[in-house]
Structure 1
Amino acid sequence: MSRYERWNALLELLAEQGRLEVEEAAEALQVSAATIRRDLDQLARQQMVTRTRGGAVAHHVSYDLPLRYKTARHADAKQRIAAAVAGLVSPGEVVGLNGGTTTTEVARALAVRTDLTERPESGAGQGLTVVTNALNIANELTVRPQVKIVVTGGVARPQSYELIGPLAGLLLGELTLDVTVLGVDALDVVHGATAHHEGEAGVNRLLADRARRVVVAADSSKLGQRAFARICGVEAIETLVTDAGAGEDVTRAFTEAGLQVITV
């Protein structure tokens, strides 16, 4: 287990329990107590936990892990999902991407599809246009001159690198998108696509509203769950791309709700 995987596991344990003892964490992660103490000290310096004598207590943001700590979670599944999502995009389309580890993988998968990114023979226009409120996605794709990047504007949220707030809506109201790919915190047949943070949900909703079709890219751990703020109902979603870990009952429920479900 790498350092970042341990940090992620510690934050998840704290989110579930609120308080964690060093010996308890060492047993759960099968590492030494000294390693756990160093990890908790590092997380405390980054203001992710509050250190206590013999352990740590959850910081107020620990339920919502910053993007850099989420990258190790379900990494293989997210890469397979991303490749499948990229395969749904046609040359010349305008793609909306919100923030998150899965949509970051989608951006990378799109960027390496030469049929999407090469310029037309006429030399006019762009092979691929991406509209995003995610600073990390914009940063990665900006170095690729064959991809046109449009950033929404707004106030940066450090936990997810997403731009939120009314400024994002001012731009999105002037654009039309072919497809929006949404990463979500949870997806449920009844409650739809949801996010932990209401500001992110608001901008994500606008990205969905401005698109002709909406694709949700979500690993199986997100399915059948719900989070605090609603993005959109399942009726607004055309396609769900998830991993093979999703149970048959779960995927059947989405299919019966009218979604095309692709498992990878």
Structure 2
Amino acid sequence: MSRDARWSALLELLAQHGRLEVEDAATELDVSAATIRRDLDQLAEQQMLTRTRGGAVAHGVSYELPLRYKTARHASEKQRIGRAAADLVAVGEVVGLTGGTTITEVARALAVRADIAADSTAGMGRPPALTVVTNALNIATELVIRPQIKMVVTGGVARPQSYELTGPLASGVLEEITLDIAVLGVNAIDIERGAYVHHEGEARINRLLAERAQRVVVAADSSKVGKRAFARVCSLGQVDVLVTDTGITAESSARFTDAGVTVIAV
């Protein structure tokens, strides 16, 4: 297992349990205790955790992994979800994208979709094949080099955990536009509670994207279904489609369907 893979695994275990013992982590990852101690020391130097005697604890009460450490989690599922969600976008539409690893896969799928990528006349007196509005710096960086895609980025204050822009500047832009479709990444989605994320500032921007859109798609792997997070984005009544993976249970899928949400499991 590479160092980056170990670090991602350690941070995920820490996010789940709040604290970690060296011996338990060594057994879980099938590496030596010395390797785990060295990994924890290096992560502590980056202020990703707090070292304790015999292990480590998470920073603060609410622990959120930075985006760069989330990429490998459920990677294949997120790629399939990304392609399926991208297929829901029509050529010529204005699409709003939040941040997050799953929505990054949506953006990548849009960029290489044949009917969008093939439009070489965009920008030559013709409208773009697609207009993307996002508050995510990493998504904007990937799509801005695509001449067939008009890239609109909100202002705001950047969060290093997610590369998302939040605050009044981001809100001000979104309040002045309309979207055909918004694709939201969430940390949790539940039948009774709706869609949630960890950070209240991101929840506000995601909520605005949903309010400005004619159609709202939530793209989330099945590990997010039935879970809770800190800040609510929107109620389930505002969601038209849930794109997830086949790990969703038949019961959960049926409940979403009964609530009026189309479920696409890939």
Normalising by structure 2, what TM-score?
Answer: 0.95
State whether residues 132 and 138 of structure 1, in contact with CA within 8 Å, keep that contact through their aligned partners in structure 2.
yes
Structure 2 match to 1:140: 142
Structure 2 counterpart of 1:97, one-letter code: L
After superposition, give the CA deviation of every residue in 1:89-141 in whole Å (9 maximum; x if it has no partner).
Answer: 11100110000000000000000013124155874111111100001101111
Structure 1 residue runs without a partner (length 5+): none
CA-CA distance at 1:143 after TM superposition: 1.8
Q: Distance in 2 between matches of 1:83 and 1:15?
A: 28
Are the counterparts in 2 of residues 218 and 240 from structure 1 also a CA contact under 8 Å? yes
Instruction: Provide the residue aligned with 2:230 in structure 1.
Output: 228
In structure 1, C-alpha distance between the alignment counterparts of 2:146 and 2:46, rounded to whole Å: 32
Partner letter of residue 19 of structure 1? R
Instruction: Tell me the CA shift for residue 38 of structure 1.
Output: 2.1
Alpha-carbon contact 1:11-1:62 (below 8 Å) kept: no
Counterpart mapping for 1:87-98 below 5 A:
87-98=87-98
Output aligned runs, 1:170-189, within 5 Å: 170-189=172-191
Report the Cα offset of residue 28 of structure 1.
Answer: 1.6
Which residue of 2 is the match for residue 15 of structure 1?
15
Distance 1:24 1:193 in 2: 33
User: Is the counterpart of residue 48 in structure 1 residue 31 in structure 2?
Assistant: no
Letter in 2 for 1:51: R
Counterpart-to-counterpart distance in 2, 1:161 and 1:242: 23
CA distance in 2 between counterparts of 1:131 and 1:34 reads 46
Alpha-carbon distance in structure 2 between the residues aligned to 1:145 and 1:42: 41
Aligned AA (2:149): V
**C-alpha deviations, 1:194-220, integer Å up to 9, x for none?**
111111000000001000100010100
Within 2, Cα distance between the matches of 1:53 and 1:257? 49
Query: What SS does structure 2 have at the residue aligned with 1:95?
Result: strand
Corresponding letter in the other structure for 1:149: M
Distance across 1 between alignment mates of 2:21 and 2:229: 28
Give me the identity figure in percent.
69
Q: Contact conserved, 2:220 with 2:242, CA < 8 A, in 1?
A: yes
Q: Secondary structure at the match of 1:39?
A: helix
List structure 1 runs of 4+ shifted beyond 3 angstroms.
119-123
Question: Using the alignment, how far apart are the partners of 1:62 and 1:234 within structure 2?
Answer: 24
Structure 2 spans left out of the alignment, 5+ residues: none
Residue correspondences, number: 264
Contact conserved, 2:116 with 2:148, CA < 8 A, in 1? no
Q: Is the 8 A contact 2:121 2:148 kept in 1?
A: no
1:147-206, CA deviations, whole angstroms, 9 ceiling, x for partnerless residues? 111011111111111101111111011111000000100001110001111110000000
Structure 1 pair 50/94, CA: closer, same or farther in 2 (3 Å)? same
Tell me what 1:190 maps to.
192
CA contact (8 A) 2:8 2:70 kept: yes
* TM-score calculated relative to the size of structure 1: 0.95
Whether 1:84 aligns to 2:84 is yes
Tell me the CA shift for residue 245 of structure 1. 0.6
Distance 1:103 1:250 in 2: 22
How far 1:41 sits from its partner (Å)? Answer: 1.9
Aligned-pair CA distance for 1:29: 1.4
Amino acid across the alignment from 1:21: E
Is the 2:222–2:245 contact (alpha carbons within 8 Å) kept by the matching residues of 1? yes
Counterpart residue number, 2:210: 208
Distance 1:212 1:120 in 2: 27
In 1: Cα distance, 2:78 partner to 2:15 partner = 23
1:63: how far off? Answer: 1.7
